[in-house]
Homo-oligomer: A and B are copies of this chain.
């Protein structure tokens, strides 16, 4: 199948690589061209605009940084909607706003195309190992059409409802992670201040009601002073900002998520924008 892939950062490159390895023709575009080199050397075909990628492809994936960039890639000059999209399927895997996902879906329908919002969780390791979780929003038809491709890149891909629903599930996921990151940081700060053996505390707590993925996975990294990004602070701040904006639109208050966002904002101001989210503990530890 002829597949387009726009946005070949760490995540996008790994995902596009799996599609290519499965024998598909993959047409690629990235703002920084050099980031497509590995894929092109493996057989992907460079196109110099999102519009041209779309012209060549039946199903077009996007995996970009921020909602404003997603907006430009779909609606801007030389963007996806400048191409003839009738009969095509547009899949945005960026973690972006439910509102933008709905706007893309409306435009797609207007031009007789289909759209899915399909953000993922599982990070760079999940992308490399094809063990991502895909959270999709859109029609069942569109989802069923995409499913064989999702199966090449994920261990779990589910349709959660109409356009925007995939983004909403991802927001719920980020709200959940926000709480586990503050919890992990504060319990470790407390345990260290109380002169406890942190390795043993992590093991003990991970066997009971305080158990979280974050504590089991990030706790040991923190003990090795490993603050390298599995997931960037700056991207988590973006996601929590979207979650809180959406919450406000729905007239719900999420005080713990607000607090987590404020703490991560402080962390970014301290210069940790490009560190991993586990660096939150640096607000307490030098």
Contacts and interface: CB of A to CB of B under 8 A. Distances in A.
Contacts of A183: 175-180, 183, 256
Contacts of A122: 208-209
Contacts of A250: 190, 193-194
B168 A194 contact: yes
A208 to B, nearest CB: 4
A111 interface: no
A189 B255 CA distance: 12
A243 B207 CA distance: 20
A201 B246 CA distance: 17
Interface of A: 98, 121-123, 133, 135, 155-156, 158, 160-161, 165, 168-169, 171-180, 182-191, 193-197, 200-201, 204-205, 207-215, 217, 243, 246-247, 250-252, 254-257, 259-260, 263, 284
- Report, nearest first, the 3 A-B pairs whose CB atoms are least far apart: A179-B183, A176-B210, A182-B256
